[in-house]
A and B are shown apart, each in its own frame.
Chain A
Amino acid sequence: MKNSIAAIFLLLFHTTLFAQSEIDMATGLRSSGKIYVVVLVLLTIFAVLGVFLFLLDRRIKKLEK
């Protein structure tokens, strides 16, 4: 009986450990700082698209007058 309880505990402990350590998150990538480059690239693309939309908006506004 004692043994089986211990076994269950071991199993539970093992699975929680497993669940915590096996999942790969990109912590290393972020701590190395390289992800900021990707963020900047995306922001640049997005900012240019935003400016493009504003210019389009202005052209349509001119046509409306």
Chain B
Amino acid sequence: MRKSWWKILGLVMVASAIVAGLLGPVPVLPILHETIRNVYFHVPMWFTMITLYLVSVIYSIKYLSSGKTSHDLVAVEAVNTGIVFCAMGLLTGMLWANITWGEPWPNDPQLNGSAIATLMYLAYLVLRNALEEEQKRAKISAVYNIFAFPVMVVLLYILPKMTDSLHPGSGGNGTFRDLDMNSQMRPIFYTSVMGWILIGVWIFTLRYRLRILENRKNQLD
């Protein structure tokens, strides 16, 4: 129990973000109205996803220098968990866009970028399944992962900011800093982000530990 304090912390942080996020004061904005509260729940999905992808790419680099199977397993399970958070981010984003922008998938650079990034990571998982030989699979997918990560960052965080996107911080839109976020929202937002990242990492470690057990069992058989 002593080692699991951060898991409890993550749960408590998200729980308090749910309470404060629904009851706390928010700025009065046109079009968004009460949906501004989605910032507390939709955005942390993406932050969690990128954290898990970052873990994945770090362990891919580690694998290439060490050749340890466990590093390869960390990389794949981090992507497996990250893609779940990506799916939740896409779904919640579509619900929100439908109300505020008029359609679930407006032709927006950030949305299209996220679609391409998602496909890239799905391709990573497909690529792994396509390769039979274990070491070759680990090495090729590690190299692919190292290329995919910076492209994903560019697609999600750089290109949309350079053109006109409906998302904050793009084109003529203000960033969270000066428009949507006031000092009342920021602490709740960051609590939620940290809480979800902790929970995402927790789920990823569970999957990783299961994977290690599976591996051990396969070697015994």
Residues of A within 8 A of B (CB): 19-20, 22-26, 30, 35-36, 38-39, 42-43, 46-47, 50, 53-54, 56-57, 60, 63-64
Contacts and interface: CB of A to CB of B under 8 A. Distances in A.
Report, nearest first, the 8 A-B pairs whose CB atoms are least far apart: A50-B11, A60-B209, A26-B34, A39-B22, A42-B18, A23-B28, A63-B213, A24-B33
Interface in B136-171: none
Given A30-B23, A35-B23, A39-B23, A60 B213 contact: yes
Contact of B7 (A38, A54, A64): A54
Report the interface size class on chain B. 20 to 34
Task: Give the interface SS of chain B, mostly helix, strand, loop or mixed.
Answer: helix
A14 to B, nearest CB: 15
Contacts of B33: 23-26
A3 B206 CA distance: 72
Contacts of B19: 39, 43
Contacts of B34: 25-26
A43 B206 CA distance: 23
B7 A57 contact: yes
B90 interface: no
Interface string B6-24: 0100010011001100110
Contacts of A57: 4, 7, 202, 206
Interface string B114-138: 0000000000000000000000000
Given A23-B33, A57-B7, 15 more contacts: A19-B30, A23-B28, A25-B26, A25-B33, A35-B23, A39-B18, A43-B15, A43-B18, A47-B11, A54-B4, A54-B7, A57-B4, A57-B202, A60-B213, A63-B213
B27 to A, nearest CB: 10
B209 A64 contact: yes
Given A23-B28, A25-B34, A46 B14 contact: yes
Interface in B16-53: 18-19, 22-23, 26, 28-30, 33-34
8 contacts: A25-B28, A26-B33, A39-B23, A46-B14, A50-B15, A53-B203, A57-B202, A60-B213
Which of B15, B22, B29, B209 lies at the interface centre, i.e. has the most chain A CB atoms within 10 A of its CB? B22
